[in-house]
C-alpha cells in the first residue's frame, strides 16, 4: 500500500512543448505533410497595441470632436497616372482571390467598399463580374500566376497592383486545394478541375528590378498611362524593396506585414517569414523620404489592422492609407460564434477557424460549395462591412482630433510613444515617459 | 505623303495607306497610342515600324485586326497581351515576346530571348529562329511553334495550349506542367518533374499538321515528332511525392 503524499507538484505544461506544438508533432507524424492553413501569424508579435498616442493638452491643442473637420480623403497614384484614385477614407480592401472567397463574398466586399467611397482589390484568380459590377473603384492584381489575366480586365481596372509578395508568405506562391477548384474556378484559372493548385512565387517574365521597370512600362503602355500602378511587397527587407519599387516607377507601394492574412499556405511560412507590420512602416517611410518621394508615391500598409487606432497609428508612422483582409472577412461574418456547432464539427472553434483552404467554411465565405455559399447574403455582408469601415474611420478621426490634427495624414510619429523597448525600436518612437528611441540614440 | 491627323498623332506618316512610325524620330508611347486608336477607328490597318533598335514594349496591348511589321530588333515584351493583331518582327526579340497574348499571330523572323509567349492564353506565336529559356512558361492556351531550339525550363507550369519545337529542347522541359501539349523533333536534354513522353496518336498528328499549316511551315513532317505531357502525378498532394514538390 503506497503512502499518501501530502505535497504534489501539479502537472506542468512545457512552455517549449506546449499543447499546440505537441499536437502539430503528432499531426506531422501521422500525415507526413506540412500543415496548410489560412489567416496570418497567430503568435504574439510586437504590434500596434504597443503604441500609444499623446493627446493634446497645454503644449498642443485638440480639435473639437464632431465640430471641427478632420479630413479622411486621400489621392493615390498621381505620380504618373492620368486618373489617380480618389478615396473618401484611407482604408481599402486588400486583394483576396475569387477562388479563396466565394463570388458572393467578393461581391459583398465591393458593395461595402463602394458604400463608403473606398476601393477593393481582385486577387489570384482574376476579376469576376460580380466584383467589378459592385465596386466603384477596383484594383486589379497582376500576380505571378497570371490566372485569368487579360487586357480587357486590365483596361477595366481603376488601378493595377503588381504583386511581388504577401506578408503572410514573402517568397512564396499561392495555394488553392482541389476542393475549391470547381468548374467556374477551374475555367477562370485554366486548370483541370480538382487539382491542388500551386501558384508561382515568381513572375514568369521578369527577374530583377531593372526588368520590373520595363514590365511596369509595358502595363502603362497597354493602359495608355491612365491608371495608377501599385507594387505590393511582403515585409522583409522593406527599406531596399521600397527603394527599388519607387525606382521601377510605382505610383503606390503596398507593404504587407507578417501578421497579414492569406487564404492558404504552410503554417511554417506564416509564422516564421517576414517582419511585423509595425517594423516595416518606418523602413518604408525612410526609403521614401530619402528619395524625396514620401507622399508623392503613396504608401499603403496592411497586416493585422483591426480598429481605428491601428489605422491612425499606421498613418502617424507615415502611411497614406491602409488595407484590410482578415478584419473584412470577420466583418462579413467569418468565424462568427453563431456557427459554433459547425466549427466544432470541423475540429475547430469560432475565432480559431483557419482551414479556409478546405472550402467547408460554415459561414459560406471562404468556400465554393454552392450550399454553403447560399448562407451568405452579399447585400447584408456589404452593409456590415460598410458599417465596420465607418467605425474604423470615426475612431481614427477621434484620435487625430485629440492630437490636434485636421487631416488623418497630419498625424506624425511625434504623436506616438511606445510601451515596450521592442516596439520603440521598431516603430522608432520613444519609450513612453522617456525620450529614448532604442537604436537611434546612444544609451 | 500625308500626315495622319485621324489619330492626332504627329508621329504617324501614311504612305499608300500604310501607317508608318519611325522610332528614330518618335517615341514608343506615340507608336502604341496610334495603334490603340485604331481599335475604334480602324482607319489604318497596315503598319510599319522603322528603327526599333531594340526598344522595349513595342506594339503592346493591341486590340484590333491590324498588321504590324517591325523592321528590326525589338526589346522586351514586344506584342505583349496582343489581341487579334498580326505582328511580325523582322529581327530578334528580347524577353517576354507576346507575353499573355490572347489571340492573333506574332511572328519572329529571328530568335527570341527567354519567356517567349509566357502565360499566353491564345493566338499563335511563331519563332523562326531559336527561343531562350522558359519558352511558353505558365502558358494558358496559346500555340507556340519554334523552328529552332528552346532553352531550359520551357513550358514550366504550363497549363494549356501547344508548344512545338522543331529543334532540341533544353533541361527540365515541361517541369510541373498541367495540360499543355508539347512536341519536340530533336533531343530533349531532360524532362522536368511530372513530364513524361506520351504516345503519338492520330489526333496528335492531326493537331501538328494543322499547326504547321497555320504557322506556314510546310517543310515539317509531324511523324518526326515526339509528344510530351503531364503524368498527372503531382496534381494532388501525396506524401509519397514529397521529394518532387
Ligand atoms: C482569404 C484571403 C485571400 C487572400 N488572397 C490574396 C491574393 O489573392 N493576393 C494577394 O496579394 N493577397 C491576398 N491575401 C492577402 C491580403 O491581400 C492582405 O495582404 C492581408 O489580408 C492583409 O492582412 P490582414 O489580413 O491582417 O488584414 C489574401 C488574404 C486572405 C485573408
For the cut 70, the answer to whether the pLDDT of residue A372 exceeds it is yes
Pairing type for strands B105-108 and B86-89 reads: parallel
DSSP track, B185-221: SS-BS-B-TTEEEE---HHHHHHHHHHHHHHT-TT--
The closest residue, in CA terms, to atom 11 on ligand 1 is A95
Q: What is the pLDDT of residue A430?
A: 97
Bridge partner list, A417: A52
- pLDDT of B38 above 50: yes
Give the three cell numbers for residue B23.
522610332
Where residue B15 falls among pLDDT bands split at 50, 70, 90? confident
A241 or A194, higher pLDDT:
A241
- Name which of A98-107, A176-185, A282-291, A379-388 the model is least confident about: A176-185
Q: Whose CA is nearest to atom 10 of ligand 1?
A: A95
Contact predicate B170/B191, CB 8 Å: no
The fold adopted by the segment(s) B2-244 is: Pectate Lyase C-like (2.160.20)
CB contact under 8 A, A224 and B32: yes
Q: Is the pLDDT of residue A293 over 80?
A: yes
Predicted confidence (pLDDT) at residue B245 exceeds the cutoff of 80: no
Measured in Å, residue A271 CA sits from the centre of ligand 1 at 15
- ipTM for this model: 0.95
Contact A271, A41 (CB under 8 A): yes
State how beta strands B181-184 and B226-230 pair. antiparallel
pLDDT at residue B4 is higher than 50:
no
- What would the mean pLDDT of A338-365 be, rounded to a whole number? 96
pLDDT at B58: 98
Residue linked to cell 481599335? B39
- Chain B residue numbers touching A218 (CB-CB < 8 A): 56-57, 60, 76-77, 80
Q: What confidence category does residue A180 fall into, taking pLDDT thresholds of 50, 70 and 90?
A: confident
Q: With bands split at pLDDT 50, 70 and 90, how would you rate the model's confidence at A254?
A: very high
Q: How many whole angstroms from A45 Cα to the centroid of ligand 1?
A: 19
pLDDT score recorded for residue B197 = 98
Contact between B100 and A151 using a beta-carbon 8 Å cutoff: yes
Average pLDDT over residues A340-349: 96
Identify whether the C-beta of residue A315 lies closer than 8 Å to the C-beta of residue A397.
Answer: no
Q: What is the mean pLDDT of the segment spanning A176-204?
A: 89
The pick from A40, A47, A96 for probing ligand 1's pocket by mutation, whose C-beta has the most ligand atoms within 8 angstroms, reads A96
Ligand 1 residue neighbourhood (C-beta within 6 Å): A 38, 40, 94-97, 100-101, 123-124, 141, 163, 166-167, 232, 256, 259-263, 302-305, 324-327, 356, 366
Output the CA torsion sign for A377, A380, A384, A386.
Answer: positive
With cut-offs at 50, 70 and 90, classify the pLDDT of residue A403. very high
User: CA A133, CA A251: separation in Å to the nearest integer?
Assistant: 25
Cell numbers 455559399 correspond to A373
pLDDT at site B243 = 66
Pick from B61, B96, B121: CB nearest A222: B61
d(CA A158, CA A226): 9
Kindly state the cell numbers that stand for A390: 465607418
Mean pLDDT across B19-40: 96
Within 8 A by CB and 6+ apart from A5, the residues are: none
Cβ–Cβ contact B137 with A under 8 A: yes
Range list of β-strands (E), A118-272? 120-121, 138-142, 159-163, 175-176, 197-198, 229-234, 252-256, 265-266
Residue in B57, B137, B242 nearest the CB of A204: B137
Buried/exposed code over B25-47 (b: 16+ C-beta within 10 A; e: otherwise): ebebbbbbbbbbbbeeeeebbeb
Contact state of B140 with A146 under an 8 Å Cβ cutoff: yes
Taking contacts as CB-CB distances below 8 angstroms, the residues of chain B near A146 are 100, 119, 138, 140
Residue A93 CA to ligand 1 centre (angstroms)? 9
What's the rounded mean pLDDT across residues A346-364? 95
Cα of B151 to nearest chain A Cα, Å: 14
**Each residue's pLDDT tens digit, B205-222:** 999 999 999 999 999 999
- Residues B101-106, mean pLDDT to the nearest whole number: 98
Mean pLDDT across chain B, nearest whole number?
A: 94
3-state DSSP call for residue A342?
Answer: helix
Please give the average per-residue pLDDT across A336-358, as a whole number.
96
B134-152 per-position pLDDT tens digit: 999 999 999 999 999 999 9
Q: Does residue B49 belong to the interface with chain A, where contact is any CB pair within 8 Å? A: no
pLDDT above 90: residue A5: no
Shortest distance, CA B155 to any CA of chain A (angstroms): 11
- Comparing CA positions, the residue from A72, A47, A126, A60 lying closest to residue A392 is A72
- A contact set with B (CB within 8 A): 31-33, 145-146, 149-151, 154, 177-178, 189-192, 194-196, 198, 200, 204-206, 211, 214-215, 217-218, 221-225
Categorize the per-residue pLDDT at B8 as very low, low, confident or very high, splitting at 50, 70 and 90. Answer: low
Whether the CB of B71 is below 8 Å from some CB of chain A: the reply is no
* Residue A297, helix vs strand vs coil: strand
Confidence of residue A442 (pLDDT cuts 50, 70, 90): low
DSSP β-ladder status, A120-121 and A91-93: unpaired
Cross-chain Cβ contact A218/B57 below 8 Å = yes
Q: Tell me which of A184-188, A294-298, B78-82 is least confident.
A: A184-188
Comparing A37-46, A172-181, B58-67, the range with the smallest average pLDDT is A172-181
Ligand 1 pocket mutation, candidates A253, A262, A307, A363, criterion most atoms within 8 A of CB: A262
Distance A324 CA to ligand 1 centre (A): 8
Which residue has the CA at smallest separation from atom 2 of ligand 1?
A263
Asked if the Cβ–Cβ distance from A145 to B138 is below 8 Å, we say yes
Cα A102 to chain centroid, rounded: 18
Distance between CA atoms of B34 and A190, rounded to whole angstroms? 33
pLDDT for A135 equals 96
Q: Which pLDDT value is given to residue B76?
A: 98
Structural domain spans, chain B: 2-244
| Three-state SS at A250 | coil
Ligand 1 centroid to residue B121 C-alpha, Å: 26
A interface test, pick of B235, B240, B245 with most A CB neighbours within 10 Å: B235
pLDDT mean over B65-89: 98
Which residues of A are less than 8 Å from B33 in CB distance?
Answer: 224
Report how far ligand 1's centroid is from the alpha carbon of A25 (Å): 28
pLDDT at A4 over 80: no
Residues 87-126 of B with CB under 8 A from A: 95-96, 99-100, 102, 114-115, 118-119, 121
Cβ contact A62:A403 at 8 Å: yes
Angle, vertex CA A193, rays to CA A191 and CA A197, nearest 5: 55
Dihedral (C-alpha) A86, A256, A108, A333: value to the nearest 10 degrees?
-140
Q: Which residue has the cell 515568381?
A: A202
Question: Among all chains, which residue has been given the C-alpha cell 500602378?
Answer: A229
- No. of helices (H) and no. of strands (E), chain B: 2, 13
What is the rounded CA–CA span in Å between residue B131 and residue B93?
10
In chain B, whose CA is at the least distance from the CA of A177? B236
For residue A14, give every residue at least 6 positions away whose Cβ sits within 8 Å of its Cβ, in sequence order, or none. none
Distance CA A173, CA A163 (A): 11
The full set of domains in chain A, from first to last, is 36-427 (3.20.20.70)
Q: Rounded distance, CA A325 to CA A313, Å? A: 18
Q: Residue B55's pLDDT band (boundaries 50, 70, 90)?
A: very high
Residue among A196, A214, A225 minimizing CB distance to B236: A196
- Separation in Å, CA of B191 to nearest CA in chain A: 19
* Distance of CA B151 from the midpoint of ligand 1 (Å): 35
Amino acid at each position: 500500500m503506497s503512502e499518501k503524499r501530502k505535497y504534489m507538484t501539479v502537472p506542468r505544461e512545457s512552455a517549449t512543448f506546449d499543447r499546440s506544438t505537441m499536437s502539430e508533432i503528432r499531426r506531422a507524424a501521422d500525415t507526413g505533410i506540412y500543415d496548410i492553413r489560412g489567416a496570418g501569424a497567430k503568435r504574439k508579435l510586437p504590434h500596434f497595441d504597443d503604441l500609444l498616442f499623446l493627446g493634446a493638452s497645454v503644449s498642443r491643442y485638440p480639435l473639437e470632436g464632431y465640430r471641427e473637420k478632420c479630413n479622411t480623403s486621400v489621392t493615390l497614384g498621381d505620380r504618373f497616372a492620368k486618373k489617380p484614385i480618389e478615396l473618401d477614407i484611407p482604408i481599402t480592401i486588400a486583394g483576396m482571390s475569387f477562388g479563396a472567397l466565394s463570388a458572393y463574398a467578393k461581391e459583398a466586399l465591393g458593395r461595402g467598399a463602394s458604400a463608403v467611397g473606398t476601393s477593393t482589390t481582385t486577387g489570384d484568380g482574376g476579376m469576376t463580374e460580380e466584383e467589378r459590377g459592385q465596386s466603384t473603384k477596383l484594383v486589379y492584381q497582376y500576380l505571378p500566376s497570371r490566372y485569368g489575366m487579360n487586357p480587357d480586365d486590365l483596361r477595366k481596372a481603376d488601378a493595377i497592383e503588381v504583386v511581388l509578395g504577401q506578408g503572410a508568405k514573402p517568397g512564396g506562391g499561392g495555394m488553392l486545394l482541389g476542393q475549391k477548384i470547381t468548374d467556374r474556378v477551374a475555367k477562370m484559372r485554366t486548370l483541370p478541375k480538382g487539382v491542388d493548385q500551386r501558384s508561382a512565387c515568381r513572375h514568369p517574365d521578369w527577374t530583377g528590378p531593372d526588368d520590373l521597370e520595363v514590365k511596369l512600362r509595358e502595363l502603362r503602355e497597354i493602359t495608355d498611362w491612365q491608371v495608377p500602378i501599385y507594387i505590393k511587397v511582403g515585409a522583409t527587407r522593406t527599406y531596399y524593396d521600397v527603394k527599388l519599387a519607387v525606382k521601377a516607377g510605382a505610383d503606390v507601394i503596398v507593404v504587407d506585414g507578417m501578421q497579414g492574412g492569406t487564404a492558404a499556405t504552410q503554417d511554417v511560412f506564416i509564422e516564421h517569414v517576414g517582419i511585423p507590420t509595425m517594423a516595416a512602416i518606418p523602413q518604408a517611410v525612410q526609403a521614401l523620404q530619402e528619395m524625396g518621394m514620401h507622399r508623392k508615391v503613396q504608401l499603403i500598409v496592411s497586416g493585422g489592422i483591426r480598429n481605428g487606432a491601428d489605422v491612425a497609428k499606421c498613418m502617424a508612422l507615415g502611411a497614406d492609407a491602409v488595407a484590410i483582409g482578415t478584419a473584412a472577412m470577420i466583418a462579413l461574418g467569418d468565424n462568427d460564434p453563431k456557427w459554433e456547432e459547425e466549427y466544432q464539427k470541423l475540429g475547430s472553434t469560432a475565432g480559431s477557424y483557419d482551414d479556409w483552404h478546405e472550402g467547408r467554411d460554415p459561414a459560406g465565405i471562404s468556400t465554393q460549395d454552392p450550399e454553403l455559399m447560399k448562407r451568405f447574403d452579399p447585400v447584408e455582408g456589404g452593409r456590415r462591412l460598410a458599417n465596420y469601415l465607418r467605425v474604423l474611420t470615426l475612431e481614427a478621426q477621434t484620435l487625430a482630433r485629440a492630437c490636434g490634427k485636421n487631416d488623418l495624414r497630419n498625424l506624425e510619429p511625434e504623436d506616438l510613444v511606445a510601451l515596450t523597448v521592442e516596439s520603440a525600436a521598431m516603430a522608432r518612437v520613444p519609450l513612453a515617459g522617456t525620450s529614448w528611441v532604442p537604436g537611434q540614440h546612444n544609451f | 505623303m500625308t500626315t495622319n491627323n485621324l489619330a492626332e498623332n504627329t508621329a504617324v506618316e501614311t504612305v499608300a495607306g500604310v501607317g508608318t512610325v519611325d522610332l528614330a524620330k518618335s517615341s514608343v508611347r506615340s507608336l502604341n497610342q496610334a495603334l490603340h486608336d485604331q481599335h475604334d477607328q480602324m482607319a489604318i490597318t497596315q503598319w510599319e515600324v522603322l528603327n526599333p533598335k531594340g526598344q522595349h514594349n513595342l506594339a503592346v496591348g493591341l486590340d484590333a485586326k491590324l498588321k504590324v511589321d517591325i523592321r528590326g530588333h525589338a526589346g522586351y515584351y514586344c506584342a505583349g497581351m496582343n489581341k487579334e493583331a498580326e505582328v511580325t518582327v523582322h529581327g530578334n526579340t528580347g524577353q517576354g515576346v507576346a507575353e499573355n497574348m490572347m489571340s492573333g499571330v506574332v511572328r519572329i523572323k529571328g530568335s527570341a530571348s527567354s519567356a517567349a509567349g509566357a502565360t499566353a492564353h491564345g493566338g499563335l506565336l511563331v519563332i523562326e529562329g531559336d527561343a531562350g529559356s522558359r519558352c511558353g512558361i505558365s502558358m494558358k492556351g496559346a500555340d507556340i511553334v519554334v523552328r529552332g531550339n528552346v532553352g531550359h525550363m520551357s513550358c514550366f507550369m504550363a497549363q494549356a495550349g501547344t508548344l512545338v519545337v522543331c529543334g532540341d529542347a533544353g533541361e527540365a522541359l515541361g517541369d510541373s506542367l498541367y495540360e499543355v501539349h508539347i512536341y519536340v523533333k530533336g533531343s530533349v536534354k531532360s524532362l522536368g518533374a511530372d513530364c513524361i513522353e506520351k504516345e503519338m496518336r492520330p489526333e496528335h498528328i492531326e493537331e501538328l499538321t494543322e499547326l504547321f499549316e497555320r504557322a506556314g511551315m510546310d517543310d515539317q513532317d509531324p511523324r518526326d515528332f515526339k509528344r510530351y505531357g503531364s503524368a498527372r502525378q503531382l496534381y494532388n498532394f501525396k506524401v509519397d511525392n514529397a521529394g518532387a514538390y
